[in-house]
Structure 1
Amino acid sequence: MSAHLTLAAEPRYFKGSSVQSRLLGVGLRHTVRPLLGLWARLPFDLYPPNLVDHLARLLPVPDGTSWRTVDLGPCSSEWLAAKDVRDLHGGNPSAIVYFHGGAFLTCGLNTHRSLVSRISYASSQPVLNVGYRQMPAEPITESVADGVVAFRWLLDQGYRPENITIAGDSAGGYLAFSVARAVLDAGWGRPAGVVAISPLLDCDSTRKRNHPNANRCETFPLNALERFTELTLRNDDRRGISGERVCPVDMPVADMPPSIIQIGSHEILMPDAELMANRLVAAGIPCDLQVWENQVHVFQASAAWVPEARQAIDEIALFVQSVADGTIEAPAAKAKKKVARPRTRAASR
């Protein structure tokens, strides 16, 4: 197997790493990475309570952010709007559905509320922030099912599928592509686009093991990803669905919506991003693969103090606004027109 893909997708490389981003990388390498390595070596499965999300209730959110709880049945979510952002009733036809990361094991609405608010503000769109069910209580297939319910909720509110962008980070990137695929398969129409931030798109660690980034990531050691693979398989076995789950890198992509994928240059998830972008572009689907020099996993969450994070959110907003106004389209409907890059507001926050 080749250690590094020859890409049909031509990545856009964003150079430069600020002092803040370098400090963040050093901090993760000496705290989170060794802890995850230790967890991976435990002789038993450990599912710690999701204390991270509870503690995150104390974190500040950008001024003017409002949200209300939405009961989706199987899970709780929230309808969030940043300052001055209108919803459908205010004349704004577009919205985002967002899936947080956390390896399907941790994190939630509280940990990601600030990031979601910044994306809402920069994109001028409200966001359904989804608190999907996670392992070990439920397998990944049920997380995907919750995402489909969330998309259906937006349709029921009056949003059209072509005006809904599906976004997520890390494990949420897995859900973003999986939910888009499920929506298409259900015949509900094509979503506006997919935003994937440092996405985990392949639960098999083989490609990651053979990639140059296998030991360069400042957040995840390889053994933690391999342990994660084992946990997902055991959860599938316990529910009697072994072999039925299809990861995004193996899904049909010929009718998928346009996408943007952002990844740090040293991330261990780089092969997932490369393969997904390669398959999309080879199928004629617009995909903006962005590689950010020396940035850590989901560095966008540190936008309060890392300048590259704010720039990346601006790039996300440009994509979201472009698919909303039709200047980026799926091949079947694509017209030859100049892409208008509207100004965004993320940098001012």
Structure 2
Amino acid sequence: MANHLTVAAEAEFRPGASWRSQALGFGLKHSVKPLLDVWARLPFDLFPPNVLEHAARLLPAPNGTRWRPVRLEHCRSEYVIGPGVADTPGEGPVILYLHGGAFLTCGINTHRRLVARVSSAADRPALNVGYRQMPHEPVAESVADGLEGLRWLLAQGYRIEDVTIVGDSAGGYLAFAVARAAIDAGLGRPAGVVALSPLLDFDNARRLAHRNADRCQLFSVRALERFEQVTHRLDTRRGVSGRRTCPVNMSLDDMPPSMIQIGSREVLLADAELMASRLVSAGVPCDLTVWDRQVHVFQAAASWVPEARAAIDEIGEFIASLDGRDSTTAPVTRTPVRTSRRRRAASSA
């Protein structure tokens, strides 16, 4: 197993894009992206029902997946046991999963398949948290629900040092925010954080100046600017005052080892690069892997895209490599070096 706990000041590049991944990117660029641009131009705030979450009830989970509902104080969640994973509640390592969807859409149904695959790759169960979202609740409540999910795991007998927090897109924001909240609350330090195509900053300035500002196959900078404006207005309506501290601006020196995966053309690569650099500067191990021409959260397409399966395998190896580390001690400051490159021919998988 490759050592994933070296400090990575530079990204590791995973070359190759299969025809399936390129077809997926083409489809998103000419369907979902134009719709998001229309939404960004509307003179009023529009929040349609979470159709994706309801429709996803009809999609089958990978064969061998088991799950059972968990009711947290303010939201629905579910305990997912991926194919081949032993069901031993409260024992051994576990994953806390926080889904993406721009804090506006998706949920436990849309992400059950991805959570099951990550669970199977890492050989441990996962709590898939259906946290409260905008426009009904501000982002602060999403973080609170993620922390409540962590507390639920601890109440079942899991140890904080055996919990890896995983999230995609907006869930990547929550993964780092919940880890920070757990440390600040005196719960201890989780084993690690894994973020897939994470949104890590509500300030759009760096993205505007980034080389990927006009290259992303899903999000335009205009759509992200509108998202920033909408979140501010919703916070104001709910009486949330003060400046939000996003993960890239949080105190990071006592954070756990982290892994960030992202596509090479994503506009959110600006967030990933900044977060990796700041973690490394704080002395925290971080693996940043950039996947050639892959779309936003391409890992969710594992049933069709070979690179997605390869990426999930790497997530599983990274999480497994965290087992047995002492999360109560401060991270060791190391000289920034590149991670060892794994020669994975993802496009031929």
Matched, 1:107 2:106: yes
Could you say if the C-alpha distance between residues 209 and 249 of structure 1 is closer, same or farther in structure 2, counting changes exceeding 3 Å? Answer: same
**Matched ranges for 1:180-259 at <5 A:** 180-259=179-258
Mapped to 2, the partners of 1:332 and 1:116 lie a distance apart of 28
> What is the alpha-carbon distance in structure 2 between the residues aligned to residue 245 and residue 123 of structure 1?
33
TM-score by length of 2: 0.91
Code of the residue aligned with 1:20 in structure 2: it is R
The 3-state SS of whatever aligns with 1:260 is strand
| Runs of 4+ in structure 1 over 6 Å off | 327-330
SS state at 2:262 partner: strand
Distance in 2 between residues matched to 1:255 and 1:298, nearest whole Å: 27
Aligned length: 330
Give the deviation of 1:67 after TM superposition. Answer: 0.6
Residue type at the aligned position of 1:237: T
Tell me, in whole angstroms, the C-alpha distance in 2 between the residues paired with 1:149 and 1:327: 23
* Cα offset, 1:327, TM superposition: 9.8
Query: Contact conserved, 2:8 with 2:286, CA < 8 A, in 1?
Result: no
CA shift for structure 1 position 241: 1.8
SS of structure 2 residue aligned to 1:304: coil
Pair 81,159 (structure 1): closer, same or farther in 2 beyond 3 Å: same
Amino acid at match of 2:291: W
Aligned CA RMSD, in angstroms, stands at 2.1
Q: How far has the Cα of 1:242 moved from its partner?
A: 2.7
TM-score normalised by L of structure 1: 0.91
Q: Deviations over 1:229-285 (max 9, x none)?
A: 001101111122232421101100000000000010000101100110000001110
For residues 1-349 of structure 1, the aligned pairs below 5 Å read 9-89=9-89, 92-326=91-325, 332=331
Q: Is the 8 A contact 2:190 2:327 kept in 1?
A: no
Structure 1 residues 55, 225: CA separation in 2 closer, same or farther (over 3 Å shift)? Answer: same
Q: Does the 8 Å contact 1:257/1:330 carry over to 2?
A: no
Please give the per-residue CA displacement for 1:134-159, whole angstroms capped at 9, x wherever unaligned: 00000000000000100000000000
Asked if structure 2 preserves the Cα contact closer than 8 Å seen for 1:88 and 1:159, the reply is no
Please tell me whether the aligned partners of residues 87 and 94 of structure 1 are also in contact (alpha carbons under 8 angstroms): no
CA contact (8 A) 2:8 2:288 kept: no
Paired residues of 1:79 and 1:127 also in contact (CA < 8 A): yes
Q: Which amino acid aligns with 1:191?
A: P
Q: Percent identity?
A: 61
Runs of 5+ consecutive residues of structure 2 not aligned to the other structure: 1-6, 340-349
